[in-house]
């Protein structure tokens, strides 16, 4: 049996996407990957509390107070110490040092709350994204899991899934709908990347769904949108 890929999750908030990863990869007994480290952008956030409850090593690294070089060295050191194979940015709101991005080229992924390349780029995160989607009159939004490179939100797309934008939606309503999709596709994309798997195509899946008001579709209907470039190199 192959050794599961060792995952580090970087988070800046409550950690609901981290929890989705823990539920599938750790608690769910995935053979492909396990969350082995959580890095929070400041002390006291929900993501670090979730890591503690799950028994996962965790630390807070605040680039604003540490300074760029100290933050870079501390982050790189933590990833090396814990022998991390794959880094997941799950609501991470700090710039990842270029040296760390380069070291984990092809092994660092981010989840973005829109259908890239639309509504991405510098400054487009959180509520700002949903405000922009509604202001543009878009009728479809969604979530994207993509590889991280040196440019904001321009790395290769691994997985996407759309959700509808309804008349009368507020940014908070749309955010809840998109976040529910993130909780489904992020663990699947990370697991698939860890396996280097070929994802089967399912032709009869719905074009969009609302996970807030309707039952979730089976995993296979989500996987049809994924493209995995191949096995990740291990640390």
Nearest to 161 by CA among 121, 127, 200, 210: 210
Distance between CA atoms of residues 216 and 210, nearest Å: 8
- CA distances, 206 to each of 10, 116, 153, 178, 218 (Å): 32, 20, 26, 16, 11
Distance between CA atoms of residues 123 and 48, nearest Å: 24
Residue 112 a catalytic site member: yes
DSSP lists the bridge partners of residue 7 as: 35, 86
φ/ψ of residue 124, rounded to 5: -100, 95
Q: Which of 112, 130, 146, 183 is catalytic?
A: 112
CB atoms within 10 A of CB 7: 28
Q: Catalytic residue positions?
A: 112
């Amino acid at each position: 049996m192959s050794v599961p890929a060792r995952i580090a999750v970087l988070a800046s908030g409550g950690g609901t996407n981290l929890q989705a990863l823990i539920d599938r990869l750790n608690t769910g007994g995935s053979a492909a990957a396990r969350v082995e480290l959580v890095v929070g952008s400041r002390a006291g956030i929900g993501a670090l509390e979730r890591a503690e409850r799950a028994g996962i090593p965790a630390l807070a690294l605040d680039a604003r107070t540490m300074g760029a070089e100290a933050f870079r060295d501390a982050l790189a050191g933590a990833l090396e110490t814990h022998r991390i194979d794959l880094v997941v940015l799950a609501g991470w709101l700090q710039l990842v040092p270029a040296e760390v991005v380069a070291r984990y080229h092809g092994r660092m992924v981010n989840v973005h709350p829109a259908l890239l390349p639309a509504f991405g780029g510098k400054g487009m995160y959180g509520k700002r994204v949903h405000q922009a989607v509604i202001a543009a009159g878009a009728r479809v939004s969604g979530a994207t899991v993509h590889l991280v490179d040196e440019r904001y939100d321009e790395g290769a797309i691994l997985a996407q899934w759309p959700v509808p934008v309804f008349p009368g939606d507020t940014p908070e309503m749309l955010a809840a709908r998109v976040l529910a999709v993130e909780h489904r596709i992020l663990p699947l994309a990370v697991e698939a990347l860890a396996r280097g798997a070929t994802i089967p195509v399912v032709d009869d899946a719905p074009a969009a769904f609302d996970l807030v008001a309707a039952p979730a579709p089976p995993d296979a209907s989500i996987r049809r949108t994924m493209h995995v470039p191949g096995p990740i190199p291990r640390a």
